[in-house]
Chain A
Amino acid sequence: MIKVNCSVNGQKQTLRAHSMARLLDVLREEAGLTGTKEGCGEGECGACSVFLNGELVMSCLVPASQAEGAEIRTIEGIASGEALHAVQQAFLTNGGAQCGICTPGMIMAAVALLKKTPNPTEADVRVGLAGNLCRCTGYMKIFDSVLRAVQGANP
């Protein structure tokens, strides 16, 4: 076991973990942050997406050792208290979430996209979310949500 010193959603933490434990499991089991989901365990579905040092990654593919010293943000760190992030609000209003299991990862990918591309086209949104599989929505309402989150933020 190793100790992983990192910051999770802005809070300094020391997490106990096996050196090769998946960051996904460390977050869910050690940090108690179950908003990050496992959908495939093979880096394919994106449900476990988090930010690692500001970049979107799949937490099932990150061993605990590589989280040492890192700044991690999860879905639990996206809203400001009870005030939803514009992307979260847009998912809620526009049908971006159905069963909700892909939603945390999808929102992380959308927030990552908007950081890099603040005014995306639908094509940009599609590429930005291509690593996040959704079986409920057919993606249309998710595209709507991301595009409207932008409109909401830039009236």
Chain B
Amino acid sequence: MRAHLPSYEMKTPASLHEALTLLANEPGKWRPFAGGTDIMVQFEAGKLAHRKFLNILNIAELKGITKDKEHLTLGALTTYSQLQANAVMRAEFPLLCQAGSETGAIAIQNRGTLGGNIVNASPAADSPPALVVYDAELELVSAQGVRWVAYPAFHKAYKKMDLRPDELLQRIRLKRNTAGAHQYYRKVGTRRAQAISKVCFAGVARQSKGLLSDIRIALGSVGPTVVRIPNTEAALNGKKLSSQLIAQARNNLAAEITPLDDIRSSAAFRVRVAQNLLEEFLCGIGSQN
């Protein structure tokens, strides 16, 4: 434990109102703290620069899973365990469930929250690729009220988000429009469990009369944020699957991602594996019909 404990402080607000008031009065002073599965790691390594934390884990407004005909809405504090346990999630949003089941191990999944995974903004996080392909929307709350933003536009740059210091991520909303879509998620990590991803791929697509449509693909660990690959997607939509099309898609993908060499893997590996996953995804659509 390398942190100088006395220099840190954690405050537990009694209500959402109190939390938002604190955030509004002293913008940037208090950093929200939920399941702590990432912040505590930095803290113990002596690398946590921020010193004051707001324990939001008990705030009821940030919890719970609700559904209506059109949407499934997850409180930001929904844990990975809770989202996997939800029947609608499993039936309609399997990619997010799979992401949850591959994030850390059970003890992490019991603590880590979907909202935390989003605002922690790690490019290697496991749930963002799934959230991107599901076109998730985020509800941000502050003392001034709430606003909704589209998740794919939320991450601006490395660790930069469309989130003001006085705002909390309150809920994540998913459109219940996945019926009949082909869905694919694969995390390539350093091992089969308790792993950080080297490449993470999520894709959804439809195919009718032999033509591809509604393709959405997102990748993690291949750039400064989770990325969508619009050019690759555009070149696939409306086309008939063929080995030539797949080869072209592989090339397009390589031009759209900018992975790095780091301690866990190499840029060359990430590009090639991303291409392989794309091919596996596309071949899966073919074999489904």
Contact = CB atoms under 8 A, between A and B. Distances in A.
Contacts of A56: 106-107, 110
A61 B36 contact: yes
B45 interface: yes
A60 B107 contact: no
A78 to B, nearest CB: 16
B8 interface: yes
A20 B8 contact: yes
A7 interface: no
Given A19-B9, A65-B12, A57 B1 contact: no
A18 B9 CA distance: 8
Contact of B37 (A55, A61, A68, A112): A61
B10 A41 contact: no
A135 B178 CA distance: 43
Residues of B in contact with A, size category? 20 to 34
Contacts of A131: 104-108, 193-194
Interface in A45-91: 46, 49, 55-58, 60-63, 65-66, 68
A20 B53 contact: yes
B106 A63 contact: no
Given A46-B105, A55-B110, A61-B111, A68 B12 contact: yes
Interface string B99-116: 000001111101100000
A96 interface: no
Interface in B21-73: 33, 35-37, 40-41, 43-45, 53, 55, 57
Interface residues of A, number: 32
B11 interface: yes
Nearest to A49: B107
A43 B55 contact: no
Contacts of B106: 56, 109, 112-113, 127-128, 130-131
Contacts of B153: none
B179 to A, nearest CB: 29
Interface of B: 1, 3, 5-6, 8-12, 33, 35-37, 40-41, 43-45, 53, 55, 57, 81, 104-108, 110-111, 192-194
Given A62-B36, A63-B36, 7 more contacts: A18-B8, A25-B1, A49-B107, A55-B81, A60-B44, A63-B40, A130-B192
8 residue pairs, one from A and one from B, having the closest CB atoms: A131-B105, A130-B193, A19-B10, A61-B40, A20-B8, A55-B110, A65-B10, A41-B44
